[in-house]
A and B are shown apart, each in its own frame.
Chain A
């Protein structure tokens, strides 16, 4: 079994995902795939890519839920999901070889593919289903928080952020240090009531989700009119008065 880091900097890099603006467009999903398939570790393979049952590995997927409250019309929530880089990551402690690990310096959870035997225990242990076995290389793939971008001196400073954040057209994805209460991203979480995913699992996820804002329901009555509705005659009076004032 593998241990969580004993020494940390207190830095907790992670994502904040705004469910109020995510339109479920899959930009983050695909941009993640194209960056990472030529990047960290084995490529993100696609089995039977043009066939009857295409299956590929992805590090980030969007789940779409229909919400049907009793007192409001049904609505749709788009829910992007990738590794949440948990403080108490069960995928790490369950790993028999030490391949799964959490970095002390920034909290990123990674898989050292040279040590991974493809046993799949970590995927079983993850309550979020955030790990996927690569169908060709048989190693465990997961979100690296673009560890090969965020410190990469070959990229301009402004691009040293995860690919999913860089590409999101709805600005629904934010990246930063959730260990620092003064960081922009921590303030955003505080301001918008950011939430943990399934806190009852005790994994202490670093990533946070911002809930959708309340919506107006179709049956909400208008305010009482400030003036009597105009009829044809009243309208002519209004017209004359308004023209006079121009």
Chain B
């Protein structure tokens, strides 16, 4: 054979057009180039999806989910028409109806409620990326019963961070990948922030820097980590506090940083049993005091040039004593309770590893100091010639937050970062705009529902203290159906979606009339106790009426939850819709750029299949708002204010000059951040590849919590209206106030039942306590931990109908440590019964060594209800796949007094998925399928058997 003797066209036609939009195959929100090419029917068809190289999030790369978008868009599980239920709830019997009938029905149901008692609407929106709009809609409707999925996802991470330093990981910040010397990653789901983390890990590796993975399971990021900490679930806080113990013992604390940016010198009142014990000492002006180091005399913390003491008692007023926060911290964490020797057994982390990692953190922070020749000015007006960095960075997600001790664990991690001076410095953790945004700059939660009246402010927010709880007049009963902002979970900043259906079913604290949900698969993988929740959704009272009277559900796909709805709104796929990834919401910024983005219909739903009549949910919500006459969505003459969501995106103003999108504002489109609405704004985004970005000035890029240049720029861009003071709260005074309430010294006073747990768990300094389920069940009966990991190639249940992704993860075994398998005589493929205090499941086992010795795990949300998602009822997802959810109850086991607490963090209400304790035995019957098997859901449509995607282009 010669060199060129075969004919081959190496420059074939690729696509007719490329349209740039934002991915929605997970929550990462990468930029994508959608290649369109004429299909057999003459309509544009998706030829290929690739990452957008210009996009700030993914910089051109694209993960497996994003690359499988074609199959998601053309999924046979798509809903095409509005539907009303014609059979019993849960069966999946529906009749298609017109949009007019669907909207008229919903308007009748909701209008009646709004005129009578708006609280009777519970509106919860799952994996919503438009919460600034859906939350605003709930506010205009007048119901406090709104939240998205943060309560069962990662509210501990968000609240722990914001209450500590005005930021958090993921959307609010990221490691300084290009300058970090050491990076530690704790419990990170591989489907969150996934492309930026992978790009970051690659950069660390390219630079030859060390990556440490802390996770009970050594898959994914932990597989490539240079060192693995195979921690026991629920003990991360103890491990972190032990690292802090070691740093104190070594004297490796950045005192200059603490004095400049934290409340370390603040005086805390030392008056045990008194009504002010644990509050900050204040003068008669109400200003917080510190002690002058030389004179030991109290002075205002804001006094210029004061050199405050970090230890020593201070008599700040007649007969009143106080101590600096730093002294309390040193006392607490230097105690032997946190020594490596004393935590090694509980955490499963060897003493040598804790000591060595503490040394490595100290070495990276203090011996590899980074100095940037970048002058900047702090908010006190002091000019700095350089930016000094402590190049050690951390990242964490649900692995540390989905525990009943998660809030305190997240606080502990941030305490560690702050003690070594590594928040928003070169090489450390970096804020992403619009953060930092401390509690003081966040809204408060709003309740107080009145007929036909909007709430005074957004339903969700950050309570400053006990005075912001949402309680009824008795000071005890929650205002909200999910019991958020009550004594059950005072700082439940994202609501408690996992408690909505159980509470609505129990009619506790009251009955609701309409449950309205979007994109939340509560009848399956998004609920604890899935089977129980399915029963609650279809349960009837003695008169034969459903206990939850009406359910409206919007989804793009025929999920398990659809079967339980009375009225179904078909949502579009992500390629057919408008969306804005707004700075008012969950932004897509990177540390050096402020950015937001849109989705737009890169294909018209009308061309994307026969009988296809889906509408973007947000457009439907805007029309519903206009039909209901909601303020902000209706003109004075009663007509609709916005044609659709795209119209809202360009023309809605949250306050004068600030709207959902920051780019190309102003009548001519020449203003950014602030500016009057621009009717052509959406087109400007499309012309720029679907996103807007503005680079931060160089002097504003670090120390944003105290950086004047950042503050000025943030005000100019409309991110904030004035300077925001952000003192890092090592000691959290709001928590101390809740403790005083529990002592009976401050109003309101919690009921007897709650006092002890408020006192014990709401420690103003980061602390660790055993997880509640672990503490409540017998160690003999349920000796092992069980948890899920999220596969990188699947996002919750959304990936399940995807013809390509289901070939990668179509079923899930339980990965069980080999030592447990040996003890129980289990081999690969054997069937086993896994049991918890709540129930049991039957699953297949896969032996595994690279896992914490007491922990078994499986992939999340692979298992499906038979018949759901338009899959064959005998699909591996239904017959070999399973959910761990069947073992997890939304309530903890009863206590001696019969009380059953929510299986949640006592501070934020975060669902404690990862506290699960189990046992395992070989199943007596070694045949499948997995159990429980629930009755089949009616399969909506028989999809094509074989796919030859793109055949028309390969001829």
**Which A62-85 residues have C-beta < 8 A from chain B?**
66, 68, 73-78
Which of B60, B804, B810, B875 has the most CB atoms of chain A within a 10 A radius of its CB? B804
Assess the B949–A37 pair: CB atoms within 8 A. Answer: yes
Assess the A172–B202 pair: CB atoms within 8 A. Answer: yes
Assess the A56–B10 pair: CB atoms within 8 A. Answer: no
Interface stretch of the complex, out of B42-50, B449-457, B685-693 = B42-50
**Which B187-231 residues have C-beta < 8 A from chain A?**
190, 194-195, 198-199, 201-202, 205-206, 210, 218-230
Query: Would you call B923 an interface residue if the criterion is a C-beta within 8 Å of the partner chain's C-beta atoms?
Result: no
1/0 per position for A210-246, CB-CB distance to B under 8 A?
A: 0011011111111101010110100110110011001
Query: Would you call A38 an interface residue if the criterion is a C-beta within 8 Å of the partner chain's C-beta atoms?
Result: yes
Query: Would you call B61 an interface residue if the criterion is a C-beta within 8 Å of the partner chain's C-beta atoms?
Result: yes
1/0 per position for A23-39, CB-CB distance to B under 8 A?
A: 11111011101110111
Assess the B352–A220 pair: CB atoms within 8 A. Answer: yes
Assess the B948–A76 pair: CB atoms within 8 A. Answer: no
Query: Would you call A195 an interface residue if the criterion is a C-beta within 8 Å of the partner chain's C-beta atoms?
Result: no
CA distance A52 to B637 in the complex (A): 56
Query: Would you call B330 an interface residue if the criterion is a C-beta within 8 Å of the partner chain's C-beta atoms?
Result: yes
**Which B112-142 residues have C-beta < 8 A from chain A?**
none
**Which A136-187 residues have C-beta < 8 A from chain B?**
136-137, 147-148, 150-155, 158-159, 163, 166-172
CA distance A110 to B1 in the complex (A): 14
Assess the A168–B61 pair: CB atoms within 8 A. Answer: yes
Assess the B230–A73 pair: CB atoms within 8 A. Answer: yes
Which of B205, B219, B223, B224 has the most CB atoms of chain A within a 10 A radius of its CB? B224
Q: Considering only CB atoms and an 8 Å cut-off, how many residues of chain B contact the other chain?
A: 107
Query: Would you call B806 an interface residue if the criterion is a C-beta within 8 Å of the partner chain's C-beta atoms?
Result: yes
CA distance A172 to B792 in the complex (A): 15
Assess the B259–A246 pair: CB atoms within 8 A. Answer: yes
- Which residues in A have their C-beta under 8 angstroms from that of B949? 37-38, 43-44, 46
Assess the A222–B2 pair: CB atoms within 8 A. Answer: no
Query: Would you call B64 an interface residue if the criterion is a C-beta within 8 Å of the partner chain's C-beta atoms?
Result: yes
1/0 per position for B56-80, CB-CB distance to A under 8 A?
A: 0010111111111010000010000
- Which residues in B have their C-beta under 8 angstroms from that of A204? none
Assess the A47–B226 pair: CB atoms within 8 A. Answer: no
**How distant is B284 from chain A, measured CB to nearest CB, in Å?**
29
Query: Would you call B944 an interface residue if the criterion is a C-beta within 8 Å of the partner chain's C-beta atoms?
Result: yes
Find B224's partner among A21, A37, A73, A101 (CB 8 Å cutoff).
A21
A51-B945, A75-B223 known; A235 and B248 CB under 8 Å? yes
- Which residues in B have their C-beta under 8 angstroms from that of A220? 352-353, 356
Assess the A26–B330 pair: CB atoms within 8 A. Answer: no
Find A242's partner among B76, B255, B331, B801 (CB 8 Å cutoff).
B255
Query: Would you call A41 an interface residue if the criterion is a C-beta within 8 Å of the partner chain's C-beta atoms?
Result: yes
Query: Would you call A126 an interface residue if the criterion is a C-beta within 8 Å of the partner chain's C-beta atoms?
Result: no
- Which residues in B have their C-beta under 8 angstroms from that of A125? none
- Which residues in B have their C-beta under 8 angstroms from that of A74? 218, 848-850
1/0 per position for B28-57, CB-CB distance to A under 8 A?
A: 000000000100000000011111010000
- Which residues in B have their C-beta under 8 angstroms from that of A33? 67, 804
CA distance A217 to B249 in the complex (A): 24
Find A136's partner among B14, B248, B251, B948 (CB 8 Å cutoff).
B948
CA distance A52 to B134 in the complex (A): 38
CA distance A82 to B78 in the complex (A): 33
Find A215's partner among B47, B226, B951 (CB 8 Å cutoff).
B226
Query: Would you call A97 an interface residue if the criterion is a C-beta within 8 Å of the partner chain's C-beta atoms?
Result: no
Assess the A6–B2 pair: CB atoms within 8 A. Answer: yes
Query: Would you call B295 an interface residue if the criterion is a C-beta within 8 Å of the partner chain's C-beta atoms?
Result: no
CA distance A25 to B117 in the complex (A): 49
A21-B205, A54-B807, A215-B226 known; A104 and B199 CB under 8 Å? no
CA distance A212 to B225 in the complex (A): 10
Closest residue of B by beta carbon distance from A41: B954
Find A154's partner among B11, B67, B221, B255 (CB 8 Å cutoff).
B11
A136-B946, A152-B11, A235-B334 known; A215 and B228 CB under 8 Å? yes
**How distant is B870 from chain A, measured CB to nearest CB, in Å?**
6
Query: Would you call B497 an interface residue if the criterion is a C-beta within 8 Å of the partner chain's C-beta atoms?
Result: no
Assess the A104–B3 pair: CB atoms within 8 A. Answer: yes
**How distant is A10 from chain B, measured CB to nearest CB, in Å?**
11
Closest residue of A by beta carbon distance from B76: A50
Between A and B, how many residue pairs show CB distances below 8 Å?
Answer: 308
Assess the B876–A24 pair: CB atoms within 8 A. Answer: no
Assess the B1–A7 pair: CB atoms within 8 A. Answer: yes
Assess the A112–B223 pair: CB atoms within 8 A. Answer: no
Assess the A171–B206 pair: CB atoms within 8 A. Answer: yes
Assess the A27–B62 pair: CB atoms within 8 A. Answer: yes
Assess the A34–B68 pair: CB atoms within 8 A. Answer: yes
Query: Would you call A1 an interface residue if the criterion is a C-beta within 8 Å of the partner chain's C-beta atoms?
Result: no
- Which residues in B have their C-beta under 8 angstroms from that of A22? 224
Assess the B223–A78 pair: CB atoms within 8 A. Answer: yes
Assess the A43–B198 pair: CB atoms within 8 A. Answer: no
Query: Would you call B871 an interface residue if the criterion is a C-beta within 8 Å of the partner chain's C-beta atoms?
Result: yes
- Which residues in B have their C-beta under 8 angstroms from that of A246? 255-256, 259
Find A30's partner among B210, B805, B810, B875 (CB 8 Å cutoff).
B805
Closest residue of B by beta carbon distance from A134: B948
Query: Would you call A116 an interface residue if the criterion is a C-beta within 8 Å of the partner chain's C-beta atoms?
Result: no
Query: Would you call B748 an interface residue if the criterion is a C-beta within 8 Å of the partner chain's C-beta atoms?
Result: no
1/0 per position for B339-354, CB-CB distance to A under 8 A?
A: 0000000000110110
**How distant is B948 from chain A, measured CB to nearest CB, in Å?**
4
Query: Would you call A197 an interface residue if the criterion is a C-beta within 8 Å of the partner chain's C-beta atoms?
Result: no
**How distant is A137 from chain B, measured CB to nearest CB, in Å?**
8
Assess the B950–A38 pair: CB atoms within 8 A. Answer: yes
Find B250's partner among A3, A104, A169, A225 (CB 8 Å cutoff).
A225
Query: Would you call B803 an interface residue if the criterion is a C-beta within 8 Å of the partner chain's C-beta atoms?
Result: yes
- Which residues in B have their C-beta under 8 angstroms from that of A78? 223
A38-B949, A42-B954, A76-B223 known; A54 and B806 CB under 8 Å? yes
CA distance A169 to B195 in the complex (A): 6
Assess the A216–B807 pair: CB atoms within 8 A. Answer: no
Assess the A56–B807 pair: CB atoms within 8 A. Answer: yes
A27-B64, A54-B806 known; A222 and B10 CB under 8 Å? no
Assess the B353–A218 pair: CB atoms within 8 A. Answer: yes
Assess the A104–B2 pair: CB atoms within 8 A. Answer: yes
Closest residue of B by beta carbon distance from A135: B946
CA distance A98 to B438 in the complex (A): 69
Query: Would you call B823 an interface residue if the criterion is a C-beta within 8 Å of the partner chain's C-beta atoms?
Result: no
Query: Would you call A202 an interface residue if the criterion is a C-beta within 8 Å of the partner chain's C-beta atoms?
Result: no
**How distant is A142 from chain B, measured CB to nearest CB, in Å?**
15
CA distance A232 to B330 in the complex (A): 8
A34-B70, A74-B850 known; A243 and B248 CB under 8 Å? no
Query: Would you call B12 an interface residue if the criterion is a C-beta within 8 Å of the partner chain's C-beta atoms?
Result: yes
- Which residues in B have their C-beta under 8 angstroms from that of A38? 37, 47-48, 949-950, 953-954
Assess the B250–A229 pair: CB atoms within 8 A. Answer: yes
- Which residues in A have their C-beta under 8 angstroms from that of B352? 218-222
**How distant is A71 from chain B, measured CB to nearest CB, in Å?**
14
Query: Would you call B793 an interface residue if the criterion is a C-beta within 8 Å of the partner chain's C-beta atoms?
Result: yes
Query: Would you call B8 an interface residue if the criterion is a C-beta within 8 Å of the partner chain's C-beta atoms?
Result: yes
Assess the B803–A25 pair: CB atoms within 8 A. Answer: no
- Which residues in B have their C-beta under 8 angstroms from that of A213? 226
Assess the B49–A34 pair: CB atoms within 8 A. Answer: yes
- Which residues in B have their C-beta under 8 angstroms from that of A8? 3
Assess the A148–B70 pair: CB atoms within 8 A. Answer: no
Given A27-B67, A74-B849, 19 more A-B residue pairs with CB atoms under 8 Å apart are: A6-B2, A23-B190, A23-B201, A26-B792, A27-B62, A27-B66, A39-B950, A43-B948, A50-B943, A51-B871, A51-B875, A54-B803, A54-B810, A73-B230, A163-B50, A166-B51, A169-B62, A169-B199, A229-B249
Residues of A within 8 A of B (CB): 3-9, 20-27, 29-31, 33-35, 37-56, 58, 66, 68, 73-78, 101-105, 110, 112, 135-137, 147-148, 150-155, 158-159, 163, 166-172, 212-213, 215-223, 225, 227, 229-230, 232, 235-236, 238-239, 242-243, 246
10 residue pairs bridging A and B, Cβ less than 8 Å apart:
A23-B792, A27-B62, A33-B804, A38-B47, A48-B872, A135-B946, A136-B946, A167-B67, A216-B227, A218-B229
Closest 4 CB pairs of A and B: A38-B950, A74-B849, A25-B792, A169-B198
